[in-house]
Amino acid sequence: MSGPSVSPFELRVTDEQIADVRARLDRTRWPDQLPGVGWDYGTDLAALVELCRYWKDDFDWSRFQDRANAHPQLVTEIDGQRVHAIHARSPEPGARPLLLTHGWPGSVAEFWEVVGPLTDPARHGGDPADAFHVVVPSLPGYGFSGPTTATGWDVPRVAAAFLRLMTILGYDRFFAQGGDWGSRVSVTLAGLTPERVAALHLNLLPVSAPDRANPTAGLDADDLALVAANKQLNRHETAYQRIQSTKPQTLAYGLADSPAGLAGWILEKFHGWSHLDAKGEIQISQDRLLDNISIYWLTGTINSSTRLYYESVGPGRFAPLPPLAVPLGHTVFPGEPFRPPRAWAEAAYPTLCHWSQAARGGHFAALEEPGLFTDEVRTFFRTQRIRPA
């Protein structure tokens, strides 16, 4: 790590902040809900009321702070923007650098439980040869990176900032892994600078039909079912994306003022995109859900986080992904709602060399199934080497 522009970071939650969120939760004016509709109209009222009750009465802020500070962190300034990152170096001499990138409505909290096993596998029952130096940035505008203060923070600009971050930290060549926005950032980074990114693993593949005029050509029955599911998804599960890519400021007034409103907006996505149990319930604990929601609340970044949609896929702003020339691995987690047919993936990514199916987990794979996620990352990158640029 070099340069005076890098400073250590630790989260400190004040008594005033805790009192404020509790008071706001206590004054929540709840809406009605039709009987028997569950999650069909959006976030289920009973589920949100219980989560907010737990947040107000039982959430342990001290333990949350300890979880946030469990790994070394830093802040720096890149392209005029504050950038926060976990930077956990491995004790193993042969460890390889690995950049992990989250998405929306996630945060670095998704990766808190995998940093230890990835950096020090021997201590967690693994092979020391699988060790990584782990870097987990908060996307600009998200969490501890704080709000963005200028327009133009789209995916290519984020990718450039993360490339600069890895340079500051002394990593000329590194591996990258991502899901959600982290997938697009990672593909952009690897596509534009293959001399820096040695290989790439994704738990979400940004893919569209190779033949728009005849998208189902050559697909088998299983792939056709995926295409139908994706159409259903676009019809019923993308309202958040439409408003965040067109009018994020309007949405932010309610979410920035009400912790219950913020929790409701984020909880819907965790319910809709996670691998649910047999009863249709989220398998992520209330504490882990609130770790993530609390980061958004404390940092006041819900507005700037949604601006990434406006900047990247808003009116006239869509930038196609660059061609990928580095080895690509992909793990399909069964609860991930955005699953393209493998034939589409192979057409879009000729360097796709690893495809696996996980037994459990969904969109927030590292948070939902940290053990499986760690195994998948190790398995793919075990076959890859970082060679001099």
Q: Which amino acid is at 27?
A: R
Q: Which of 309, 310, 330, 349 is catalytic?
A: 309
Task: Say how many residues make up the chain.
Answer: 389
Q: Alpha-carbon torsion 195, 199, 204, 206, what sign?
A: positive
On whether residue 315 sits in a domain, the answer given is: yes
What radius of gyration, in Å, describes the C-alpha atoms of the chain? 20
- DSSP run (H or E) holding 339: none
- pLDDT for position 98: 98
The residues near 249 (Cβ < 8 Å, ≥ 6 apart) are 303
Number of domains the chain contains: 1
Q: Are 175 and 101 in contact (CB under 8 A)?
A: no
Within-domain flag for 266: yes
Q: Confirm whether 1 is domain-assigned.
A: no
Say whether 296 is catalytic. Answer: no
Q: What CATH number does the domain containing 273 carry?
A: 3.40.50.1820
pLDDT tens, 283-314?
999 999 999 999 999 999 999 999 999 999 99
387 lies in some domain: no
Q: What is the pLDDT along the chain (389 residues), one digit of tens a residue?
A: 445 489 999 999 999 999 999 999 999 999 999 999 999 999 999 999 999 999 999 999 999 999 999 999 999 999 999 999 999 999 999 999 999 999 999 999 999 999 999 999 999 999 999 999 999 999 999 999 999 999 999 999 999 999 999 999 999 999 999 999 999 999 999 999 999 999 999 999 999 888 777 888 888 898 899 989 888 888 888 999 999 999 999 999 999 999 999 999 999 999 999 999 999 999 999 999 999 999 999 999 999 999 999 999 999 888 889 999 999 999 999 999 999 999 999 999 999 999 999 999 999 999 999 999 999 999 999 999 886 54
Give the DSSP letter string of 54-108.
HHHHT--HHHHHHHHTSS-EEEEEETTEEEEEEEE--SSTT-EEEEEE--TT--G
Query: What pLDDT was estimated at residue 8?
Result: 97
Structure tokens at 222: 């299983």
Buried b (16+ CB within 10 A) or exposed e, 8-47: ebebeeeeeebeebbebbeebeeeebeeeeeeeebbbbeb
Residue type, 69: N
The answer to whether the beta carbons of residues 173 and 194 sit under 8 Å apart is: no
Would residue 144 count as lying in a domain?
yes
Active site annotation includes 154: no
Residue 55, domain member (yes or no): yes
pLDDT at 388: 57
Residue 206's domain comprises: 7-382
> CA-to-CA distance for 110 and 168, rounded, in angstroms?
24
Is 218 in a helix, a strand, or coil? Answer: coil
Q: 2 lies in a domain?
A: no
Residue 81 lies in a domain: yes
Do 207 and 334 form a contact (C-beta atoms < 8 A)? no
Question: Is 363 in the active site?
Answer: yes
Q: How far is C-alpha 384 from the geometric centre of its chain's CA atoms? A: 23
Taking only the tens place, the pLDDT of each residue in 195-215 is: 999 999 999 999 988 877 788
Out of 84, 201, 330, 363, pick the active-site residue.
363
Q: Find the DSSP H helices in the chain.
A: 15-26, 45-57, 61-68, 112-119, 155-168, 181-192, 221-236, 239-244, 248-257, 259-273, 286-299, 302-313, 342-348, 365-368, 370-382
β-partners of residue 78 are 81
SS3 (DSSP) at 357: strand
Q: Looking at 120, 130, 180, 291, which residue is catalytic?
A: 180
Task: Provide the β-strand partners of residue 160.
Answer: none
